[in-house]
Chains A and B, each alone.
Chain A
Amino acid sequence: DQQVKQNSPSLSVQEGRISILNCDYTNSMFDYFLWYKKYPAEGPTFLISISSIKDKNEDGRFTVFLNKSAKHLSLHIVPSQPGDSAVYFCAASPNAGNNRKLIWGLGTSLAVNP
């Protein structure tokens, strides 16, 4: 049972436009959310995170929005660049004391076309 869902397996966007990647979660105990980016033949790399006390976190071209009531977060990339083409994983962590395990989504493959 997927507690973190990325319902779009793939997304294709034109260079310079906005990419919006979505993530939904079911567990209300999750209070910290992360986005990782993965290129083929490489391990995931951390991109951006947000805690549940915020509704927005921005880092350069990357912004994550959190809607706790809807249990939904999204990653916005503006403007999108061809180098952003990768698989993006959403991950969540429950507020469970020392057990800070990450729960991962299945990923969304983003293709940014020149």
Chain B
Amino acid sequence: DAMVIQNPRYQVTQFGKPVTLSCSQTLNHNVMYWYQQKSSQAPKLLFHYYDKDFNNEADTPDNFQSRRPNTSFCFLDIRSPGLGDAAMYLCATSRQAGGRYPDTQYFGPGTRLTVL
């Protein structure tokens, strides 16, 4: 089945210790998104890639970086995690952006990040 896969499902890191979350997709979608979701809050878009074009949200801290080495994979790097970065990180994909209406976004199961 075509899907969006996130690894690991649970990640524990120490304050200030860099961490990388990964996302892969078998849907061959052009667009990949990273969201942060904290408890009882809406998903917050951090950035997205349209193919290789990186689009950062204006309020995404510099502490968060992303890489997309190929169509299938996208990584979220948190350079120096703080306690406030503990959250669920969701990866999503869609076929394309910029059409008359947005294409459906397909989400992975998320990675729960704990910062000690």
> Do A and B form a real pair?
yes
Query: Roughly how many angstroms separate A9 CA and B39 CA in the complex, as a whole number?
Result: 12
Q: Give the shortest distance, in Å, between A87 (CB) and chain B (any CB).
A: 10
B42 touches A51 (CB 8 A): no
A104 touches B43 (CB 8 A): yes
Q: Give the shortest distance, in Å, between B96 (CB) and chain A (any CB).
A: 9
Binding site for B on A (CB under 8 A): 2, 4, 9, 31-32, 34, 36, 41-46, 49, 51, 89, 93, 97-98, 100-102, 104-107
Excluding A43-B110, A93-B102, 14 further A-B contacts by CB distance (< 8 Å) are A31-B101, A32-B102, A34-B102, A34-B104, A41-B9, A44-B90, A46-B106, A100-B97, A100-B98, A100-B99, A100-B101, A102-B105, A104-B43, A107-B40
Query: Roughly how many angstroms separate A89 CA and B37 CA in the complex, as a whole number?
Result: 12
Query: Roughly how many angstroms separate A102 CA and B94 CA in the complex, as a whole number?
Result: 12
Q: Give the shortest distance, in Å, between A3 (CB) and chain B (any CB).
A: 10
B92 touches A43 (CB 8 A): yes
A93 touches B90 (CB 8 A): no
